[in-house]
Structure 1
Amino acid sequence: MDAGNLPGSHGEHVLQSLFGTRARAEAFYGRQMSDRLTPRMREFVARQEMAFVGTADAAGNCDTTFRAGPPGFVRSIDDATLVYPEYRGNGVLASLGNILENPHISLLFIDFFEDLVGLHVNGRARITTALDAERRYGLREERVERWVEVDVEEAYIHCSKHIPRLARKERADGPRPAAGDYYGVGEGRPVGTS
């Protein structure tokens, strides 16, 4: 494969050459990466109850957040489009703010309970209203104020080698940390204060 035609970043390709992993990487790109969601990927997404969302602002400052909902809360509209709801949160809107500045997004789905495998989806995101999502896709949920649409650019496996098997429990099982100042930020110097 010509390095100019390979998926991934220039940095990846430099390190693959430096560390002698180019042949393995090219095999991975050829067998495991797609610029669309395959039918099995779409079925996998439809069963997931959680996703990790990575965004960055225009300066490259990163944010990774956790999203969860009922199975299939992230919808696969077609083989090139995912849509997920933004439920009411703490009002900071870090992910959405990043998307407004920089549309690049990564979604990581991991099945900790059955398949012990993950799916990476990278693409370009845009924010849409609940009304627009209902009109365009027939999506209607009372608690959702806005949706994020993702145009898929690449999708690939996260191998199961180090994914632990977890046991499913009800939320009421065991202690839950209280909301608010769990980590003692108010006791120290909060961000933006001198």
Structure 2
Amino acid sequence: MARVDTLEHLAELIPDPSPRAAAKVLDHIDTQGAAFIAQSPFLMLGTEGAEGIEISPKGDRPGFVEMVDPRTLLIPERPGNQLKMGLRNIVANGRIALIFLRPGTGDMLRVSGRVELDDDADLCARFTIESKPALLVMRVAVERAFFHCARAALRSGLWEPDTWGQAQRISYGKIYAEALDNPEIEPLFDAITDERNADLWH
């Protein structure tokens, strides 16, 4: 095994993109990107800070991310696990990378740039769902945006149910019970998780 630790070595394995291929990388979100975001119910959010790199899932009703203009996005923050790993990275670093997905669509939209957190009450109220405003809003200044082709999704069978196999149920009760050395809490936490998820689905 040889370690690839220079750009020259990397270029030997994967040539640099042609001018045509590189032309798809924009400094703004174009009309197709805007339409994609308007229908996307899910994204992956990448950040970096002193504790390392984090990837956070964000999901809501399709179009939950608002595009103010081709270089500005607003992403609401909803109640979650309160670990705030990505949010702490944003405060420390101010950099962000996003991948937007649409079910049934192999193409994905990649966006990166700068980000700030905003807790203005009126702004958070714009993202109210079921009488609950956003906790805060991430304001993204877009520096790069482009569509990633469908090959990764096609290879993985991402949207093909026949390739999924049997569903795996994650027991958070088991995780907490083992971490806290308290087996009695396993059914309690699993019941809480099931109830919370049921409320979200309906």
After TM superposition, the score normalised by the length of structure 2 is 0.71
Cα distance, 1:76–1:12 mapped onto 2, change above 3 Å: farther
The counterpart of 2:13, out of the listed 16, 19, 22, is 19
Per-residue CA distance 1:105-163 (angstroms, 9 max, x = gap)? 000012242x21101000100000141525xxx72412411010100000011110120
Cα distance, 1:161–1:99 mapped onto 2, change above 3 Å: same
Please, what is the CA RMSD of the aligned residues? Answer: 2.8
Q: CA deviation at 1:20?
A: 5.5
Separation in 2 of the partners of 1:88 and 1:43?
27
Letter in 2 for 1:46: A
The counterpart of 2:170, out of the listed 171, 177, 187, is 177
Question: 1:74 aligns to what?
Answer: 65
Question: 2:21 aligns to what?
Answer: 28
Q: Give runs of aligned pairs for residues 29-178 of structure 1, distance below 5 A.
A: 29-30=22-23, 32-57=24-49, 59=50, 61-113=52-104, 115-133=105-123, 139-141=126-128, 142-163=132-153, 164-166=157-159, 176-178=169-171
Question: Aligned residues: percent identity?
Answer: 23
Show structure 1 runs of 5+ residues with no match: 1-10, 169-173, 188-194
Separation in 2 of the partners of 1:97 and 1:132?
23
Letter in 1 for 2:175: Y
Q: CA deviation at 1:77?
A: 1.2
SS at match of 2:135: strand
Separation in 2 of the partners of 1:38 and 1:13?
31
Q: CA deviation at 1:165?
A: 4.3
Q: CA deviation at 1:175?
A: 7.3
After TM superposition, the score normalised by the length of structure 1 is 0.74
Q: CA deviation at 1:52?
A: 0.3
Separation in 2 of the partners of 1:60 and 1:13?
26
Cα distance, 1:27–1:152 mapped onto 2, change above 3 Å: same
SS at match of 1:92: coil
What is the number of residues matched between the two proteins? Answer: 166
Instruction: Name whichever of 97-106 and 85-94 sits farther off.
Output: 85-94
Q: CA deviation at 1:180?
A: 4.6
Cα distance, 1:129–1:12 mapped onto 2, change above 3 Å: farther
Separation in 1 of the partners of 2:18 and 2:173?
44
Cα distance, 1:101–1:70 mapped onto 2, change above 3 Å: same
Q: Kindly indicate whether the alpha-carbon contact (under 8 Å) linking 2:54 and 2:85 is maintained by their aligned counterparts in 1.
A: yes
Letter in 2 for 1:123: G
Letter in 1 for 2:149: C
